Amino acid sequence: MANFNIKFWGVRGSLPAPKSPEALRTHLRDVLLRYDSEIEKSQTPSETPSEKTFETSKSSVERVDAFVESLPPWMSGGYGGETSCAEIEGGASRIIIDAGSGLRHLGEKLMKGPCGQGQGEVHLFFTHFHWDHLIGLPFFAPIFVAGNVIRLYAVQPELELCVRRLFERPFFPVSFESLGAAVSFHTLQPRRAMKLGAFEITPYQLDHPDPCWGYRIEAETTAGRKSYAHCVDSETTRVSREELGEDLKLYQKASLCFFDAQYTLGEFLTHMNWGHSAAPLGLEIGLREGVERILFAHHDPGAGDRKIADAERQTRDFLDAYRAKSKQTGRHLPEIEWQFARDGDSFDLGELRSS
């Protein structure tokens, strides 16, 4: 049976952010220093056997694997540098949201299936047309293969104009007319649901300098109706139920919410009207609206792994303080899962119910 799966091929914001050689060198040094201290620890008698991750009886491969496993996520692999791209899959149904640089890797995967034989069908939804959500499209291999059908969707009527312009010289050498696949354009109605296989997709407006539409995707699973809320890019200038109005539904009881947390709360206050948000705003909405899990994303391109890990720590402190304050006022806050997104993160929302 098919499952409701979501995989993130890009979680960075604004611009792809590969690590520089200098940053990699510093990172390697930090890791080796940690390795060194672990070995030292294993050579001194320890009261707690669990501290001994470097048992000398293990082979060097086992020792290194155990060490890598013991590292915090920001140090073992970091958060990634590809821009926005999410794949929502369930049996024969596949939806892509955003064509950021992460789309290139998803294209490579799809080329191993029907798209590689010119028999693929792709449904790609755009939130808006800022570069970081568009830049992967000219590098999406299935679009060059004759026989493939690529359907592009957006609320904004300028969808076709924006995509055609992307394939114009001198921006790109291959013209739109000479693409192999049959590419079609579909304008969506705001806040009106459309069906696509097992999924129901509804666009809701976000708060961004240029109009930007998030998506709520729902499906029936054997454990009930589950939902994914794609909420980038947004400054979250509307937080209360009254302010959000009709767009409140985007968040309500979402099983998984992908939320714009480009800034720490301090940075957010000095970046008014830049169109991006901070994790505490996501927690406030998520706790109030019964969101099960929030994935904080759209990391600033200038933020290194250590800085994002710091923002994660600040978010934990914020939540602890928020819970303590709520307890004092007698308000009960539900449990909520949350984490800062990494390229390649994937989530299974359960087995789809056959209709």
Interface residues with Zn ion (CB under 5 A) are 13, 130, 132, 233
Minimum separation from the CB atom of position 233 to Zn ion (A): 4
Of 207 and 312, nearer to Zn ion (C-beta) is 207
Compare residues 90 and 138 and give the one whose CB is closer to Zn ion: 138
Instruction: Name the H helices within the chain.
Output: 21-43, 60-70, 73-76, 103-110, 159-166, 241-244, 265-269, 279-289, 305-328
Distance CA 167, CA 176 (A): 5
Please say which residue, 217 or 297, places its beta carbon nearer to Zn ion. 297
Q: Whole-number minimum distance, CB 23 to Zn ion, in Å? A: 22
**One-letter identity of residue 164:** R
CB of 309 to Zn ion, least distance (A): 21
- Residue 254 CA to residue 261 CA, distance in Å, equals 17
Nearer to Zn ion, 238 or 323 (CB): 238
Work out how close the CB of 146 gets to Zn ion at its nearest, in angstroms, rounded to a whole number: 32
- Could you tell me the smallest distance in angstroms from the CB atom of residue 131 to Zn ion? 8
Rounded-to-integer distance, Cα 299 and Cα 319, Å: 20
Task: Give how far the C-alpha of residue 41 lies from the chain's centroid of Cα atoms, to the nearest Å.
Answer: 37
Q: Based on CB atoms, which residue is closest to Zn ion, 54 or 140?
A: 140
Residue 346 Cβ vs Zn ion, minimum distance, rounded to whole Å: 21
If we measure between CA atoms, which residue out of 41, 31, 43 comes closest to residue 71?
A: 31
The CB-of-274 to Zn ion minimum distance in angstroms stands at 10
Contact in structure between 235 and 207 (CB atoms under 8 Å): yes
The rounded distance, in Å, linking the Cα atoms of 243 and 261 is: 20
Angle at 123 between CA 122 and CA 127, to 5 degrees: 135
Minimum CB distance to Zn ion, residue 238 (Å): 17
Residue nearest to Zn ion (CB): 130
On whether the CB atoms of residues 53 and 42 are closer than 8 A, the answer is: yes
Nearer to Zn ion, 167 or 213 (CB): 213
- CA pair distance 295, 306, nearest whole angstrom: 18
Rounded Cα–Cα distance for residues 229 and 259 (Å): 8
Name which of 93 and 205 has its Cβ closer to Zn ion: 205
Tell me how far apart the alpha carbons of residues 66 and 44 are, in angstroms, rounded to a whole number: 19
Nearer to Zn ion, 131 or 290 (CB): 131
